[in-house]
Amino acid sequence: MSNNSSPTDISNLTDWNGPFDLPQFEALQEADFRTAFDITLKRDKEQTLEIANNPDEPTYENTIVAFEVMDSGLGKVASLFYSRAGNDTDDRIKEIEREIAPKLAAHHSEMSMNPEAFARIDAVYQKRDELDLSTEEHEVLEKYWRGYVKNGAKLEDDDKKRLAEITSKLAVLYTNFGQNVLADSNDWTLHLQTDEEIAGLPDFLLDTLKAQAKERGLEDGFLLTLSRPVLAPFMQFSTRRDLREKAYKAGISRGSRGGETDNVENIKNILKLRKEKAKLLGYNDFAEVRLENTMAKSAESVNQLLNEVWPRALERAKEEEAELLVLAQEMGHNDIIEPWDWRFYSEKLREKKFNFSEAEIKPYFQLDQIIDASFDVANRLFGLTFKQREDITPHHPDAKVFEVFDPSGKTKAIFIADYFARPSKRSGAWMSAYQSQHKLKTIDGKDGKMPFIYNIMNFAKPAEGEPALLSADDARTLFHEFGHALHGILSDVTYPSVSGTSVSRDFVELPSQLYEHWLTVPEILKKHATHYKTGEPIPAELVEKLIKSQTFNNGYETLGYCASSFVDIAFHTAGEVEDPLKFQEELLEKLEMPHAVSMYHRAPHFLHVFSSEGYAAGYYSYMWSEVLDSDAFAAFEETDNPFNPELAKLLHDHIYSKGGSEKPEVLYEKFRGRMPTPEAMIKKRGLETA
C-alpha cells in the first residue's frame, strides 16, 4: 500500500474512481482505515436517521428503496478492510480489526433497533398485500422486517441494551477466534533437511516445499506448513509415520494449545452469549434463530438428513478401514490405523485398486489451465467470456483481474482471483464482493451497479518460473469458489439486498457445489488438463480412473464432514456448554465415530462457526445443498449433454441470476420442475446400500 496521501484523506476508500469505478488499490493506506471508519460510521448514522425521521407517510419508495440506495461509504470501507484482513493481514490491520469489531457491532445494533426506522418498515410491512409489490419487492421488504425483528427492534429498552452488549461482545470474540487460528497456523512449521525426512514425497510437493523454505528465508531444505494444499499431500505420500503424526497433531491442535491463542474459553463465551441472544429474541436456542428462514427450517430437519447419511457412511468407513488395515499389514505395519495413517494407506489402496495415484493427476492440473477450464464452462453454459486486465492493479501482486463480458459483448462484471497461500492470509477458500450488482438508480444518478467479485484461495505457490500444479481436490476447490463467483457475476436483480449470494445459507452452496461437476466432464479435461512438461492432453484412461475413483474413501470423507455438522447443531441446541472439547468428544463417542477418522473441523479452529455467525448452526448446508446439486446435475446427465442449452438457460434464469429475489424452493422447482430427494447425493457419494 502507498504511503503518499494524508492520513485524513479517505477519498480513496470511499470514492472509488479506478477503471470501471473500481477501488484504486495501489492508493490505499492502512493508516486511513481508522479515520475512514470513524467518518463513515457517523455518516451512516446521520443518513439512517434522516430516513427514519422522514415526516412523510412511510412508503416502499421513501423507506425501503431509500435504505437500499443509501451510500454513507461505510460499506465500501468495510469491504476493503475485511478483504485486506482476510487475504493480507499484519499487526496493524489486526489491531484495527480488534478495535473496529465492537464499534461496528454497536453501530449495527443501534441502527437496527432504532424505533423510528422500524416503525416505518413495519408500517410498510403491515400493508404489504395492498401495495401491488413484485415478488422481489416482497422478499426485500420481508428481509428488512425480519432483520430488524431479529436484531431486537421489538424488544423493551432494557433488553435492547443487553442485546447490543451481547452483539458487541460477540464481535470481539469472533475477531479473537479467527486471529488465534491464524496465529497457530503460522506458528508451526517443519524444516525437512535429510533424505530420510522427505522420503516418499513426489517432486511436485518437494518443489513447493523448497519454494516455501526460500520464502521464509531458509537457504536449504524443505519447509512444511499447515496450509492444506501442502499438508494434505504430505499426509498422503510421506513414508515417515512419525512426521505425519507430528504434522497431524499440529493441525488438529490449532486453537487449543493453551496460552494466548487458545480458543476454548472463546467458544464457551460465544455459545453462552448466543444462547442468551436467542432467549432475548424469544427463541428456544440459537439454532432456531439461524434456521428459521432457511430451507431446512429446523434442527430436527438438519439432523434427519445427517442421520439418513451417517449410518451408511459409518458402515462404508468401517469397510474402508478394514481394507486399509489388510494393506498396511502387507506393508509391514503391525499397529492400528491411526488418523495420521489414513490418508497414507488410502493413497496406497487407491493405487492398488485403480492403478491410479493423485500424483499422476497433478502434472496435468496446471493452475492456469484449470482457470481456463472454469471460464470455458461458464462460456458454454452462460455465454460469458473473460479477458485478463493486466493494466488494472489488484489488491495484491499475486492476484489477477478479469473483465467479464456477457453474450452480447457488453461488460458484465469484474472478477479478481487471488490463488496462492501466504502467511498473511487466513486459511481456506472463499468468494466475496467489493460491490454487488443491482439496478436501482444510485444517489449519484447512475443506473445500478455492476458486480466486483473476488475469489481467494490458498494453493501452494510454485518455485519461480515453474507452473502451479493442483491436486484434484484443489481443482474442485477452484471450481467451487468460481461457482460462488458466478452467482455474483450473473446476478440480475433490482435490489442490492437480494443480489448474488444474498440467499439462505442452505441454498448458497448450490451454485458452487453444482459447478464442481463440470470439472470432470471428459471433454473439459481433455481440452484443459494438459501435461505441464509435454503439453499432451490427459490420457482418456487416466480420466476414466479419476472419475471411477471419485467415490473412493467417501465413507471417511462423509463421516468427517457429518461429524462437524452434528457438533455444530448440537452446540447450538444445547444449554450451557461448560467444556466444549468434552462435549465434542462425548457426541463423537455417541455417534460411534471411528478412532481413525478425523473431523473436518474441531471446535477450536472451526472458523465457519466461531469466527462469525456465517455458518453458525449452518455447517450442514453443504450437504443440504449437495442434495440439490446432485439432483440438478442429474438433469443434465439425463439428457446425455452436460451443456444442454435449454437446461443451461433454466439454470441461468432461475438459479445463478436470481439471487434471493424469490424463495429458494420456488427457484429450484422452476429449474427442475420438482423438489429433490437425497438419492442422487447418496449415489454421488457412493453410499447406496446393496
Residues 6+ apart with CB under 8 A from 376: 524, 527, 528
Is the pLDDT at 2 greater than 60? The verdict is no
Q: What is the pLDDT of residue 463?
A: 86
The structural domains of the chain, ordered by start, are 11-154 (1.20.1050.40), 188-253 (no CATH), 333-548+616-690 (1.10.1370.40)
Phi, psi of 439 (to 5 degrees): -115, 5
Nearest to 495 by CA among 120, 135, 125: 135
Q: How confident is the model at residue 386 (pLDDT cuts 50, 70, 90)?
A: very high
The pTM score is 0.93
Asked if 307 contacts 685 with a C-beta cutoff of 8 angstroms, the reply is no
Residues for the chain: how many in total? 690
Residues 472-481: tens digit of each pLDDT: 999 999 999 9
- 3-state SS string over 185-198? HHHCCEEECCCCCC
Is the pLDDT at 7 greater than 70? The verdict is no
The C-alpha cell that represents 145 in the structure block: 422486517
The Cβ-side half-sphere exposure at 448, using a 13 Å CA radius, reads 18
Asked if 299 contacts 584 with a C-beta cutoff of 8 angstroms, the reply is no
Residue 63 DSSP label: I
Question: Where do the H-state alpha helices sit in 23-114?
Answer: 32-52, 66-69, 74-87, 91-112
Q: What percent of the chain shows pLDDT beyond 90?
A: 92
Q: Report the C-alpha gap between 331 and 16 in whole angstroms.
A: 61
User: Quick check: helix, strand or coil at residue 391?
Assistant: coil
Q: What is the pLDDT of residue 3?
A: 42
Instruction: Give the containing element (helix H, strand E) for 184.
Output: helix 157-187
**∠ Cα 333 336 338 (to 5°):** 100
For strand 447-449 and strand 438-441, is the pairing parallel, antiparallel, or unpaired? antiparallel
- Counting DSSP H helices and E strands in the chain, the numbers are 28, 9
Is the pLDDT at 6 greater than 80? The verdict is no
Mean pLDDT of 674-683: 90
User: Quick check: helix, strand or coil at residue 542?
Assistant: helix
Nearest to 563 by CA among 605, 593, 524, 541: 593
The C-alpha cell that represents 188 in the structure block: 508451526
For 282, other C-beta atoms within 10 Å of its C-beta total 11
Q: Report the C-alpha gap between 92 and 305 in whole angstroms.
A: 44
Distances (CA, A) of 192 to 5, 211, 225: 45, 13, 11
Q: What is the pLDDT of residue 548?
A: 87
Is the pLDDT at 607 greater than 90? The verdict is yes
Distances (CA, A) of 91 to 97, 424, 463, 620: 10, 10, 27, 34
Is the pLDDT at 688 greater than 90? The verdict is no
Q: What is the pLDDT of residue 565?
A: 98
Q: What is the pLDDT of residue 356?
A: 85
Residues 6+ apart with CB under 8 A from 665: 295, 675
Q: Report the C-alpha gap between 639 and 636 in whole angstroms.
A: 5
Where residue 384 falls (left for φ over 0; alpha for ψ -120 to 50; beta otherwise) is: beta
Q: What percent of the chain shows pLDDT beyond 70?
A: 99
User: Quick check: helix, strand or coil at residue 449?
Assistant: strand
Instruction: Give the containing element (helix H, strand E) for 17.
Output: none
Q: What is the pLDDT of residue 8?
A: 57
Residues 6+ apart with CB under 8 A from 213: 191, 220, 221, 222, 223
Q: Report the C-alpha gap between 104 and 34 in whole angstroms.
A: 12
Asked if 255 contacts 267 with a C-beta cutoff of 8 angstroms, the reply is no
Mean pLDDT of 657-682: 95
Q: What is the DSSP string of 650-679?
A: HHIIIIIS-TTSS-HHHHHHHHHSS---TH
Give the bridge partners for 191, in sequence order.
223
For 362, other C-beta atoms within 10 Å of its C-beta total 21
Q: Report the C-alpha gap between 30 and 92 in whole angstroms.
A: 8
- The dihedral through the CA atoms of 66, 69, 74, 75 has a sign that is positive
The C-alpha cell that represents 553 in the structure block: 474413501
Asked if 580 contacts 271 with a C-beta cutoff of 8 angstroms, the reply is yes
Mean pLDDT of 167-186: 96
Q: What is the pLDDT of residue 5?
A: 41
Q: Report the C-alpha gap between 304 and 531 in whole angstroms.
A: 45
Q: What is the pLDDT of residue 689?
A: 74
Residues 342-377: tens digit of each pLDDT: 999 999 999 999 998 888 999 999 999 999 999 999
User: Quick check: helix, strand or coil at residue 463?
Assistant: coil
Is the pLDDT at 550 greater than 70? The verdict is yes
Is the pLDDT at 155 greater than 80? The verdict is yes
Is the pLDDT at 660 greater than 80? The verdict is yes
Q: Report the C-alpha gap between 558 and 254 in whole angstroms.
A: 22
Q: Report the C-alpha gap between 509 and 480 in whole angstroms.
A: 9
Q: What is the pLDDT of residue 690?
A: 55
Give the bridge partners for 417, in sequence order.
400, 455
Q: Report the C-alpha gap between 252 and 168 in whole angstroms.
A: 29
The C-alpha cell that represents 62 in the structure block: 421513501
Instruction: Give the containing element (helix H, strand E) for 300.
Output: helix 299-330
